[in-house]
Structure 1
């Protein structure tokens, strides 16, 4: 086990926020790839949970198995990205061994969202209804499109779909104030100005 890493369990509210990339310098610093354009959660939390990489990043990874926790000594912006120093990481060799590890943070350690702003993870699984009370679907994903995001909903087609009635389908609704009337996280519901035939 690399110095500074401690075997741990992933918190129930853990969210994957990024991954460790190549080493930076010779003192154990690492480049960090954030999954978000606004990586404030990475700065806000001093305790990261690391999981082994998946897919193409998993090849040759042997730094640890399972979940480990790491304390963040320092994180800062560098060029157009981020670099971080994890506690106890002795040198470049140890940092290189962590390349590809996935970073998770407990949702409770995210910074508070601004008024009218929401973390994507909080919107997943919310029911969406229109002004008439018609259930439009359940949020399964959010898709960034540049100027705004789009809610991707799963729903079951109704009887008016003919032979496709009862089959699963996807509905897309722009996540902008023109179409989104209210987000009620406590009630786990989003109200929209949208019709089933749009």
Structure 2
């Protein structure tokens, strides 16, 4: 896989969100957007963003529980301080992510690519992707919004970062 000119290694990626206090000693439950969820605990540093303020967390401690990751933020040492961080976001830079395996793609790298079908019809650009129980779905914004399943070798023929486009097997009337 080649990296196109629009892949910014310092672009930030939302990797988790704080969803509440865990116990009384300042630990915080997190919703992890990493795959697998425990990968959230391996990124260092993390950038904590809350109520318009940012803080770089160099030495984050954490562990996995049955309900997901639990972290300890330096200087947060009681339940009230942990609960005050409800909704805070955890970010990493694109350069911190492991290299994608052949045939695998980070969704963030697909955003902004042009989407054309086999007949050359330009559908617009990938706005974002979202997960469904069946498969990921690309949201393409052009003359109208289109939702196309991101299934390689079924609907997605090729991802070409050098050309800045994704080629799909999709009828223009859908």
Which of the five TM-score ranges fits, normalised by the shorter chain? 0.7 to 0.9
Give 1:88 deviation, angstroms. 4.3
Q: Tell me if 1:175 matches 2:150.
A: yes
Q: Tell me if 1:154 matches 2:129.
A: no
Give 1:133 deviation, angstroms. 2.5
Unaligned runs of 5+ in 2: 1-8
Give 1:176 deviation, angstroms. 0.7
The normalised TM-score by structure 2 is: 0.81
The normalised TM-score by structure 1 is: 0.72
Match of 1:159 in 2: none
Match of 2:120 in 1: 133
Q: Which ranges of 4 or more aligned residues in structure 1 deviate by more than 6 Å?
A: none
Match of 2:4 in 1: none
Q: How many residues align?
A: 165
Q: Give the 5 Å matches for 1:1-198.
A: 13-35=11-33, 38-39=36-37, 42-53=40-51, 65-156=52-143, 169-177=144-152, 178-198=154-174
* Cα root mean square deviation, aligned: 2.3
Give 1:125 deviation, angstroms. 0.8
- Within 1, Cα distance between the matches of 2:31 and 2:60? 17
Of 80-89 and 101-110, the range deviating more from structure 2: 80-89
Secondary structure of the equivalent of 1:95?
Answer: helix
Tell me if structure 2 keeps the 8 A contact 1:21–1:99.
yes
Unaligned runs of 5+ in 1: 1-10, 54-64, 157-168
Answer with 1 or 2: which has the greater Rg.
1
